[in-house]
Structure 1
Amino acid sequence: MNIKNLWDKYRDILPYGVFGVLTTIVNIGTYWFFAHPVGGSVMVSTVLAWIASVLFAYLTNRKWVFHSEARTGKEVGKEIVSFFSCRLATGVLDWVCMFVFVDLCGWNDVLIKCVANVLVIVLNYVTSKLVIFRHKG
């Protein structure tokens, strides 16, 4: 297998990595802002961070990572519902991690937020690639 074939096969991975890092920065930065300077609760800050990062992820993933083919309002609407539904499922994983390890166990909130994000990123890539932005044909 030559380099062009490898690039064609894995061309989503590099931009997903870049935008995944940026989405993680949005998520952790938003969480930190609402949890620390604002003084919000762990769970409220986690939800606000989820909303901000999912909006950012949808816009970047749609255009620059998975090159969405959705054009009509109906197609884009279906794509948005799929994206947010899948992200809600991984968001629940994030919330559970924060609740169990921060609220119940008292572990460091920013450390747990980072670890949870690694799990979420992997699951989000799989659902985006195989469910949300799969190309027809």
Structure 2
Amino acid sequence: MPIELPFDDEEASTSVDLKTQIVRFILTGALSAVFDFGLTVFLQDVVGAPFPVAKGAGFILGTTIAYLINRRWTFRAEASKARFAAVIALYVVTFFINVGLYDRLMQQWETGLLYTALAFCIAQGVATVVNFVVQRAVIFKIR
């Protein structure tokens, strides 16, 4: 079955196949990561914010963008108070995974854009896998 990538505003449903969800999740994640990384680097290198503060702010911006796009496009799910509460709980967990891992790596490595990007990618990668699995298996099955 080919991967379909419609950019329409059809009635939301959870009938999107796994391959399509993965592609959409990756595209959404890439866009969100640009905002997350940009704000993280700006706050860390320009403003001088501590690593966890800079990454925390970037994470909040990136995950907000990702949730809004994933809910409607990736998983085609209707708005739900129960789902929103579950997303908040998941994002709290992935926040600590992401920010904690990033901070630990940045504390151990030299500063510089290469190490910042590497720490960002590792922390983001781990949190993204957890995020996708829980969103697909649990959150977007909630009515």
TM-score normalised to structure 1 length: 0.82
Report how many aligned residue pairs link the two structures: 127
RMSD: 1.9
Tell me what 1:80 maps to.
84
Whether the 8 Å contact between 2:35 and 2:62 is mirrored in structure 1 is yes
Amino acid at match of 2:134: T
Q: Give the number of the structure whose residues are more often helix, by fraction.
A: 1
Deviations 1:28-68 (A, max 9, x none): 11111111122211111011111101110110011000011
In the alignment, the residues of structure 2 paired with residue 63 and residue 100 of structure 1 have an alpha-carbon distance, to the nearest angstrom, of 34
Runs of 4+ in 1 over 4 A off after TM superposition: none
Tell me what 1:63 maps to.
72
Q: 1:92 aligns with which of 90, 93, 96?
A: 96
Q: 1:41 aligns with which of 28, 50, 56?
A: 50
| C-alpha displacement of 1:16 | 0.9
Q: 1:53 aligns with which of 24, 46, 62?
A: 62
In the alignment, the residues of structure 2 paired with residue 11 and residue 130 of structure 1 have an alpha-carbon distance, to the nearest angstrom, of 15
Whether the 8 Å contact between 2:28 and 2:69 is mirrored in structure 1 is yes
Could you say what secondary structure the match of 2:64 adopts? helix
Unmatched segments (≥5 aa) in structure 1: 71-75
Question: Is residue 2:126 matched to residue 1:119?
Answer: yes
| C-alpha displacement of 1:117 | 0.8
In the alignment, the residues of structure 2 paired with residue 63 and residue 43 of structure 1 have an alpha-carbon distance, to the nearest angstrom, of 30
TM-score normalised to structure 2 length: 0.79
| C-alpha displacement of 1:11 | 2.1
Could you say what secondary structure the match of 2:141 adopts? coil
Unmatched segments (≥5 aa) in structure 2: 5-16
Q: How does 1:99-114 map to 2 (within 5 A)?
A: 99-103=103-107, 105-107=108-110, 108-114=115-121
